[in-house]
A and B are shown apart, each in its own frame.
Chain A
Amino acid sequence: MKPLLPAAVAILVISNAFVLAHVAMNRSGEPDSEIELTARELNYFGGRSDDSSVVLMLRWENTAPEYPPGLPMDGPDWFDQKKLEALGFDLSVPASSPRGERFYGNLRSREAFVALEFEGPAWEKWLAAREPKLESETSYAPKVTLQERLEIERETTPRLVAVDVGLDAAALRQKYPDRKRVMILECLVRAMLEMNRPASAVAPARAAFLRGAITRLAIETINVPEPLSGKLREQSSYVPWTYDGNQVKIQQPTFAATLRVGSKYEPWVTDVKVDVKSLR
């Protein structure tokens, strides 16, 4: 046997051993966080005949989105230029420079960590910020009242809210020590250039500025292993609310899953509960 065949076998065995060791390290010891989420935060779209895996999609409220809905922003929110610099972005070209559009348009995403707070003050703030926008929200039928819209938002939307980003996950954990309420996961961030806005009848002039955006989580789908997946396989997709033309009916989440995040900031499902009446 020539040495290349044992080399091929060794590559195969070592790489698999490396992956399994990485998984064991992530899952051993005290978890970084453990939170019970429901179908509001973990979407299950039902099984497919050609795919037997059961996968949950993590849903969260992005307070620094790449393309914010609604009117153009008046200025950066919490994810500002200072935070971008701390994340290592090259911001040497001023926002007002003619070179800015090309320079920032070509800047690639960077890997960072995001702190997601569950059902805390950030979620209350998010709901409060949504309230004035709900009246003109086109995703609701016109007959759905503002009170009903508020209830739908409060009872059905994901309660995980992005509150901070950083390069050092340990430093983020120190800042947000509640492991039952704040989950830290790997994410991707970008620098966004908001071009200057001339004065108009509805808004004053605003200079160009730089802000940060969280573009996605590094791990957005979470596999549910056997035997836990068996509990979800019979479930249909969660429909948060229905409207029959007269009345809004809010559906309670159909399942809850405990999500644990390990020392390598990789999540896994440790428990699944179905048909629990008290879920919200």
Chain B
Amino acid sequence: MRPQERADRLRMFQSELADLEREGVLELTPEQRTRLDTHIERTLAELASQFDVDTTESQRQISLGMKIASALGGIALCAAVALFLARYMGYWPTPIQVAVLVAIPLVLTIAAEFAARREKTLYYTALIGIVAFAAFVANLSMLGSIFNLAPTPNALAVWGLFGLALAYHFGLRLVLAAGLVSMLGWITATTNTWRGWWWVEFERRPEELMLAGLLLAAIPLFIRHAKRTDFPAVYRLVGMIAFFVTMLFLSAEGQRSYLPLQDKAVEHFYQMFGVVAAAVSVWIGIRQSWTGVVNIGTAFFTIFLFFRLIDWWWDWMPKYLFFLLIGLVAIGLVAVFKRLRGRMRLAA
């Protein structure tokens, strides 16, 4: 269990115990109470000093704000680095251009290690890590432009491996997501090149991306993440989004499919398959307690349903009636989910 999870559990236990005492369900002797309080406070203090975890709700909210600021700051710094290089690099001789492009990600990687050794919460490390990843992407892309090289999918593999190495070393989820997206692109592009096709045009036959997404989402089933317990959710998030977005594309562009069916038949197949797959994801997510999968499944279930309703009703129905029906469908969905929740509670 991660230190933050343990701290959260202790705080919840404390609060629940107070409720039970107030309701007279449980009464501890003053001696037991003192011993318990001392133990909890000491454990929380140890966790706070060792791992810098949040021990109160307000600390938790500030931490969330810091995470958001760190992600936004990382993105802004990536833009700053790229724009700076574009603005000035053209005036430098080629050897200096190469040296600067190689040095930036290298220095940032070392800086991330330096930050990680000095902070427990990794806010600065996460920020530097994502900028290091972006700088490496800029490094190889700009070398390609400087030397007029033909674009290659192997760059995606190298970026992916670099992202994974950084993510697993420091425990950075955003960098992991960036690395996985690169690997996903590389797998899809490479299957294209094996058949002699140009690697960029994978949108002409996107089913490979769908399968690669599914494969990625399944990886945590085969590779245990005993130390990085929050990483499997990132694999599932990236994989499921690739899977559903591709399916959504095919539900509108049937001619892009490998399926030996008429274009319209392919679109209808993916429209139905999309709704069913989203519902199955919600079911699996609930059974396995995978919150991310439940959320993605619900989001795509709604998107698929909404697109279908537009397709069926938008042209011939008055707009006010269309939105009324959408509202009624939403109310119906809430009722279904409420019933499902009730059944689950009974089963529990």
Contact = CB atoms under 8 A, between A and B. Distances in A.
A151 to B, nearest CB: 33
Interface in B282-341: none
Contacts of B105: 12
Interface residues of A, number: 46
Given A2-B169, A4-B165, A52 B148 contact: no
Contact of A8 (B102, B148, B162): B162
A11 B158 contact: yes
B55 interface: no
A188 B192 CA distance: 14
A226 interface: yes
Interface in B74-124: 83, 86-94, 98, 101-102, 105-106, 109-110, 113
B91 A52 contact: yes
A5 interface: yes
B255 A106 contact: yes
Nearest to A167: B196
Given A8-B166, A19-B147, A22-B149, A226 B94 contact: yes
Contacts of B13: none
B16 interface: no
Contacts of A108: 192, 197-198, 201, 204-205
Interface in B110-147: 110, 113, 136, 139-140, 143-147
Contacts of A80: none
Contact of B89 (A52, A218, A267): A52
A226 B93 contact: yes
B102 to A, nearest CB: 5
Interface string B159-172: 00110011011000
A105 B255 contact: yes
Contacts of B158: 11, 15
Contacts of A7: 165
Interface residues of B, number: 48
A266 B86 contact: no
A43 to B, nearest CB: 15
B87 A218 contact: no
Given A12-B105, A15-B140, A4 B205 contact: no
A102 B204 contact: no
Interface in A1-30: 1-2, 4-5, 7-9, 11-13, 15-16, 19-20, 22-23, 26
Given A53-B89, A88-B196, A226-B94, A266 B109 contact: no
A268 B148 contact: yes
B136 A12 contact: yes
A256 B336 CA distance: 72
A81 interface: no
Contact of B150 (A52, A88, A225, A266): A266
Contacts of B102: 12-13, 16
Q: Is the interface of A mostly helix, strand, loop or mixed?
A: mixed
A219 B150 contact: yes
Given A52-B90, A53-B90, A108-B204, A188 B162 contact: no
Q: Is the interface of B mostly helix, strand, loop or mixed?
A: helix
A222 interface: yes
B344 to A, nearest CB: 40
A12 B149 contact: no
A225 B140 contact: no
Contact of A23 (B93, B109, B147, B201): B147
A264 to B, nearest CB: 8
B201 A109 contact: yes
Contacts of B91: 52, 226
B256 interface: yes
Which of B148, B155, B263: most chain A CB closer than 10 A? B148
Contact of B198 (A4, A53, A111): A111
A219 B148 contact: yes
Given A11-B162, A105-B255, A106-B255, A223 B88 contact: no
Contact of A188 (B113, B166, B198, B263): B198
A130 to B, nearest CB: 30
A138 to B, nearest CB: 32
A50 interface: yes
Given A2-B169, A5-B109, A223-B146, A109 B197 contact: yes
Interface in A36-59: 50-55
A233 B265 CA distance: 56
B342 interface: no
Interface in A193-241: 218-219, 221-223, 225-227, 229
B113 A110 contact: no
Interface of B: 83, 86-94, 98, 101-102, 105-106, 109-110, 113, 136, 139-140, 143-151, 155, 158, 161-162, 165-166, 168-169, 192, 196-198, 201, 204-205, 255-256, 263
Interface of A: 1-2, 4-5, 7-9, 11-13, 15-16, 19-20, 22-23, 26, 50-55, 88, 102, 105-111, 186, 188, 218-219, 221-223, 225-227, 229, 266-268
Given A7-B165, A8-B162, 11 more contacts: A8-B165, A11-B158, A12-B139, A16-B98, A19-B147, A106-B205, A106-B255, A108-B197, A111-B198, A219-B150, A223-B147
